[in-house]
């Protein structure tokens, strides 16, 4: 487990050199909000990170329902049964194993796995603009139909889940990066992801924090580049 701090945000990374999977702890006055739950073996590392920071985890927020983002959720809930879990209304369906699409959505199959044995369900279903402590929920569909990003209103840090990746070079969800193609393999709709990437730019983030790869400081220029790259491919 590797822990990197930037302002109120702590990036917790597992398997940093091989297949990096990040989750995040956002510091609030009275505790920590965990964003995503990494892989099954990560619960001890996540608890250790919170212990190092010195505050309890009081909320668990999920960017989407894929297995590398909900893996440790059941074991974390065993350790902290009182902590509420948040996910978007739309990805709660995916969490329940429902892979159906709505008529207004891009009619292409949802990709990527939700763990079959996952028993935890969300307590709070999120929609655009909801506040979770200092975080605003922003609907950024594309990687999955219900993918959500979170903007820290104190710092303009954006925790984008897999709406972007930075491992293997910065990319919008669905844009295949040969050195780390896995987020692209798991992406549902490139054109929806592209629209969401543009939406994130409009918040002028000061920091971009993603599921796979390092955090990017002052990321606007590289986000614009990544958008241009995917736009040229799917034009
Ligand atoms: Zn992921």
80-121: per-residue pLDDT in tens?
Answer: 999 999 999 999 999 999 999 999 999 999 999 888 899 999
12-61: per-residue pLDDT in tens?
Answer: 999 999 999 999 999 999 999 999 999 999 999 999 999 999 999 999 99
Range name among 113-117, 140-144, 207-211 with the lowest pLDDT average: 113-117
The alpha carbon of 173 and the centre of ligand 1 are apart by a number of angstroms equal to 10
74 contacts 114 by C-beta, under 8 angstroms: no
- Ion ligand 1: residues, CB < 5 A: 68, 162, 211
Which residues are bridge partners to 25 per DSSP? 10, 34
* Whether CATH 3.30.479.10 fits 2-234: no
Alpha-carbon dihedral 209, 109, 198, 170, rounded to 10 degrees: 40
The alpha carbon of 68 and the centre of ligand 1 are apart by a number of angstroms equal to 5
Query: What CA–CA distance (Å, rounded) separates 199 from 204?
Result: 10
The alpha carbon of 109 and the centre of ligand 1 are apart by a number of angstroms equal to 17
């Amino acid at each position: 487990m590797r822990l990197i701090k930037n302002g109120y945000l702590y990036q917790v990374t597992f398997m940093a050199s091989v297949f990096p999977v990040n989750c995040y702890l956002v510091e609030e006055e009275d505790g920590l909000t965990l964003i995503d739950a990494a892989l099954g073996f990560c619960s001890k590392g996540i608890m250790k990170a919170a212990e190092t920071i010195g505050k309890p985890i009081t909320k668990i927020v999920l960017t989407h329902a894929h297995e590398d983002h909900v893996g440790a959720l059941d074991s974390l809930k065993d350790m902290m049964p009182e902590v509420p879990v948040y996910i978007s209304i739309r990805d709660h369906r995916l969490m329940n194993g429902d892979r159906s699409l709505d008529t207004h959505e891009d009619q292409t199959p949802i990709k990527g796995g939700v763990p079959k044995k996952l028993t935890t369900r969300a307590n709070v279903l999120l929609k655009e603009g909801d506040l979770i402590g200092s975080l605003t929920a922003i609907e950024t569909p594309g990687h999955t139909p219900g993918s959500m990003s979170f903007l820290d209103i104190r710092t303009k840090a954006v925790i984008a889940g897999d709406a972007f990746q930075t491992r293997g070079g910065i990319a919008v969800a669905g844009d295949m990066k040969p050195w780390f193609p896995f987020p692209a393999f798991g992406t549902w709709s490139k054109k929806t992801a592209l629209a969401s990437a543009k939406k994130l730019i409009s918040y002028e983030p000061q920091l971009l924090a993603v599921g796979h790869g390092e955090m990017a400081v002052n990321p606007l220029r590289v986000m614009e580049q990544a958008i241009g790259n995917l736009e040229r491919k799917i034009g």
